[in-house]
Structure 1
Amino acid sequence: MDLRQQRKRDHVRLAAAWQERRPSPAAAGPGAGWEDVHLVNHSLPELALAEIDLTTSVAGVRLAQPVVINAMTGGADDVTAINRDLAAVAADLGLAMAVGSQTAGLRDPAVADSYRVVRRVNPKGIILANVGSDATPEQARAAVEMVEADLLQIHLNAPQELRMPEGDRDFRGRLEAIARMVEEAPVPVVVKECGFGVSRDVAVLLHQAGVRAVDVSGRGGTNFAWIEDRRAGLSDPDPGLQNWGIPTACALAEVAALGLPELDLIASGGIRHGSDAAKALALGARAAAVAGPVLLRQQREGARGVMAYLQQFLTDLRAAMLLAGAGSVAAMGQVPVVVTGFTGEWCRLRGVDLMALANRSER
């Protein structure tokens, strides 16, 4: 097995290990920030749980649920079963699903089936292809064709690459490459961080480049800097670099506060429960995405464990929306939300209008 395939196996193993044995909060630094985001209880919601509308859209693509199974893996023979299980659950629950980075499949057709299996198992679902920010338009089109994708996810992961012994060291020209892919891709583009957070400044650059959907993917979920330090065998990693990034709630709040026209936001990073997803919708996301907790269930219990976890996730999301008085994803973006603690201080210093968030009219 070549280095790239071995890396795929290492990532799955260590991502599951991170979920099972996450470092203590003191060692890991602030989390995703959801504990600082508080939805205001609506004692008279005038809603029926079964009638809450979970449909949403991202970059013009309709989603039956505001929950995405985010990019995890692909590119090695022995991860095909993971994507098969995830695709089966996505098909049953009507969830969009992203495949892992397809660079391996583009370079080696022998492992392309580890990605193609997703479309084969879920022929009618919403699938996101996945390439790096250094891909060419031709590679982006090939990735879309490989899985017959509805959306193209372009991932940003400079902190991970710098911690990876064999990773990239030169990131010049990435914004121009993204702009070219946006212009030439046959499907809408979603630009996604990989657990380090998109700032408002980068969101503006992406919007100017024509991007119409961003997954802010902040700190608080699976830590790929930690994973790469483990792969490299570092005995004394730099904690400031290992815990680099913007907590997810902070990233989402500051980008949403910009109000950039026709820029849809996805929140990922530390979203483990339906109530976390509800908070993300209240802060301005059109959808929430989960990966690490899903992978852990798949590794422990296969498709059955993933199904049970995501069914409960959706049930809890509906409950949180009802308790906040919101009958739809759009309405959830108008409910009052109070932001305190580290996240509140971050937002205050970054100019987010917390009073406006807290004093919305309940619906």
Structure 2
Amino acid sequence: MSADRKEDHIRLAAGQQDRPAGHRGYDDVDIIHHALAGIDRDKVDVSVTVGPWTFPAPFYINGMTGGTDTALTINRALAAAAAHTGIPMASGSVGIALDDPSAAGSFTIIREENPNGIVFANIGAGRSLDDAKRAVDLLSADGLQLHLNSVQETVMPEGSREFSSWLSLIEQIASGLDVPVIVKEVGFGLSAVTLGQLKDAGVRIADVAGSGGTDFAKIENDRRGGGHDDYSYLNGYGSSAIQCLLDALAEGYVGPTADPNFTVLASGGVRTPFDVVKSLALGARAVGMAGTFLKVALDDGADGLIEMIDAWTTRIGEMMALMGAATPGELERTDLLIRGESGEFARLRGLDPATLATRSREAR
């Protein structure tokens, strides 16, 4: 059943890439152009530091899949591209391999193809510290992603509805694991309240993983087949990555007063290099992508992924030069206009969007 579910996830997630959502949170963000702000491209360094790692570019391959033959093919391509370009890669949830060792090959292929790169294992937040250690060992992983998927579990026909132990399990894993822990949502967003809970639990890296990309509520509902047993009213549920970053900024988890020992990443609906730049400008340290890479992996394999990653790295560097940012962190001095739903979200959560429109003036 688990393997069939994973195949359904791949098929339905790829289908969502063929029919991307219309308006997205990223569409609410405009960067004010200052025509004399630019610097020379060769003065730009696109690398970022996340925990103990240096990423060669400010984006990474987020957790996607595993546990089936199709997933093995996808992970081989992703890992080969990661090895060639040096960007980090997270696996899909290895829970299926912990429960059924015959599924392990679709995950261990990641380390086989990428023996020296930065690799993150991935399991659900309801798992134990022992499971976390087994997941890391399986991939000789440099870090562990713990994913929060309560919405998905709620809609999933065979899902769990027991969530009360998650925070204490996260705290045990964060304190008991020998590698860094990254806690992420699966596409419904991390609020500032949740970021605070995670920080208090000892987590030092969190990926807000907002809505607008792969919609796992819709995927699980599509698996149900409709009728009265329907959750379609949850399609699009959650907060976008932009809204999550604005929430984090309002509470000081990103921005000039943020704790340097707590790092916020962003993902969810990233479709262009400009989306990466916007996320960095709102305080994300780096940006994860899953669905966009999945489509390329299926259609064009490792060669297509390498071409895409190289192109995105180049485009991001060019845009940083255009905006006068020698490092990704300097993008936080750019002037932003936050409109639409995201602007309203910011105001309702206590952040005046107008304060982001004059940041370059204040930085002078």
TM-score, structure 2 length as denominator?
0.93
Per the TM alignment, residue 235 of structure 1 is displaced from its structure 2 partner at its CA by 4.3
Quote the residue 2:321 is aligned against: 322
Per the TM alignment, residue 51 of structure 1 is displaced from its structure 2 partner at its CA by 3.3
Per the TM alignment, residue 240 of structure 1 is displaced from its structure 2 partner at its CA by 3.1
SS in 2 for 1:165: coil
Contact 1:256 1:265 in 2 (8 A): no
Residue 242 (str. 1) matches residue 242 (str. 2): no
Quote the residue 1:93 is aligned against: 85
Residue 254 (str. 1) matches residue 252 (str. 2): no
* Structure 1 residues 6-45: aligned runs within 5 Å: 6-22=4-20, 25=22, 31=24, 33-45=25-37
SS in 2 for 1:191: strand
Quote the residue 1:232 is aligned against: 224
Quote the residue 1:341 is aligned against: 340
2:163 to 159, 171, 174: 171
TM-score, structure 1 length as denominator?
0.94
Partner amino acid, structure 2, of 1:282: A
Per the TM alignment, residue 42 of structure 1 is displaced from its structure 2 partner at its CA by 3.1
* Structure 1 residues 277-296: aligned runs within 5 Å: 277-296=276-295
| Structure 2 CA distance for aligned equivalents of residues 314 and 175 of structure 1 | 36
Quote the residue 2:256 is aligned against: none
| Structure 1 CA distance for aligned equivalents of residues 250 and 324 of structure 2 | 22
Q: For the structure 1 residues 41 and 68, does the alpha-carbon distance in structure 2 shift closer, same or farther, using more than 3 Å as the test?
A: same
* Structure 1 residues 106-145: aligned runs within 5 Å: 106-145=98-137
| Deviation string, structure 1 residues 153-207 (Cα, Å, up to 9, x no partner) | 0000111111110011111110000000000011111100000011111111111
* Structure 1 residues 28-67: aligned runs within 5 Å: 31=24, 33-67=25-59
Identity in percent? 40
| Structure 2 CA distance for aligned equivalents of residues 173 and 69 of structure 1 | 29
Q: For the structure 1 residues 327 and 42, does the alpha-carbon distance in structure 2 shift closer, same or farther, using more than 3 Å as the test?
A: farther
1:105 to 91, 97, 112: 97
SS in 1 for 2:15: helix
Moved over 6 A (4+): none
SS in 1 for 2:212: coil
| Structure 2 CA distance for aligned equivalents of residues 336 and 152 of structure 1 | 35
Unaligned stretches of 5+ residues in structure 1: none
| Structure 1 CA distance for aligned equivalents of residues 17 and 38 of structure 2 | 38
313-322 vs 192-201, which moves further = 313-322
| Deviation string, structure 1 residues 281-318 (Cα, Å, up to 9, x no partner) | 00000001111011111111222222222222222212
SS in 2 for 1:152: strand
Unaligned stretches of 5+ residues in structure 2: 254-258
| Structure 2 CA distance for aligned equivalents of residues 101 and 356 of structure 1 | 39
Partner amino acid, structure 1, of 2:10: V
| Structure 2 CA distance for aligned equivalents of residues 341 and 46 of structure 1 | 28
Partner amino acid, structure 1, of 2:6: K
| Structure 2 CA distance for aligned equivalents of residues 53 and 16 of structure 1 | 33
| Structure 2 CA distance for aligned equivalents of residues 161 and 174 of structure 1 | 13
Contact 1:42 1:325 in 2 (8 A): no
SS in 2 for 1:53: coil
| Structure 1 CA distance for aligned equivalents of residues 249 and 115 of structure 2 | 33
Q: For the structure 1 residues 50 and 6, does the alpha-carbon distance in structure 2 shift closer, same or farther, using more than 3 Å as the test?
A: farther
| Deviation string, structure 1 residues 318-353 (Cα, Å, up to 9, x no partner) | 222122211101211222222111101100110124
Quote the residue 1:308 is aligned against: 307
Q: Between Structure 1 and Structure 2, how many residues are aligned? A: 355
| Structure 2 CA distance for aligned equivalents of residues 51 and 122 of structure 1 | 30
SS in 2 for 1:333: helix
Partner amino acid, structure 2, of 1:65: A
